[in-house]
């Protein structure tokens, strides 16, 4: 039996739209400085899906934000939409804020890049935190 749950979302101006099906592999808050810069927020929350579960009505532009990943965004409004690791090309991380109904998504399960967390940002303090990726921040630039 497959999970046919459907999720829809898109960018601020509506030019880029996506549909994801199934249950997210994971949901996490990222505190790395690159996600902060890309989003303008103190942390960026992602829901990860298999790439095969996501359909883009209009594909996002792609920016190689580091040696290890690409970020998807809208060229018209600049909305941050996705993140894909080069070493994990079978998964796409979609920004939770870009979903039409983000409250339907399961809550975040952990924090990543906790060493770069802003001290006064207390987002889900009861969740475990760790350095999620095996790369150091200096290796990302």
Q: How far apart are CA 99 and CA 94, in angstroms?
A: 8
Please give the residue range of the domain that contains residue 65.
6-140
For residue 92, tell me if it sits in a domain.
yes
Nearest CA among 95, 99, 76, 98 for reference residue 84: 95
Q: How far apart are CA 6 and CA 20, in angstroms?
A: 6
For residue 1, tell me if it sits in a domain.
no
Q: What is the pLDDT of residues 25-75, one digit of tens each?
A: 999 988 888 888 888 888 899 999 999 999 999 999 999 888 888 999 999
Residues contacting residue 93 through CB under 8 Å, at least 6 positions apart: 46, 47, 48, 82, 83, 84
pTM of the model: 0.82
Q: Which two three-digit tokens encode residue 16?
A: 């880029």
In the chain, how many domains are there? 1
| CATH number of the domain enclosing 21 | 2.170.150.70
């Amino acid at each position: 039996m497959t999970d046919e749950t459907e999720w829809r979302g898109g960018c601020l101006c509506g030019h880029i739209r996506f549909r994801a099906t199934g249950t997210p592999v994971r949901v996490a808050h990222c505190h790395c400085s690159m996600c902060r810069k890309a989003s303008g927020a103190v942390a960026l929350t992602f829901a990860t899906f298999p790439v095969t579960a996501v359909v883009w009505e209009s594909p996002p532009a792609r920016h190689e934000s580091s040696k290890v990943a690409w970020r998807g965004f809208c060229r018209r409004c600049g909305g941050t939409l996705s993140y894909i690791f080069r070493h994990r090309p079978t998964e796409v991380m979609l920004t939770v804020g870009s979903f039409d109904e983000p409250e339907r998504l399961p809550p975040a399960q952990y924090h990543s890049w906790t060493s770069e967390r802003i001290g006064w940002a207390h987002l889900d303090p009861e969740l475990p935190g760790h350095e999620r990726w095996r790369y150091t921040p200096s290796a990302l630039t």
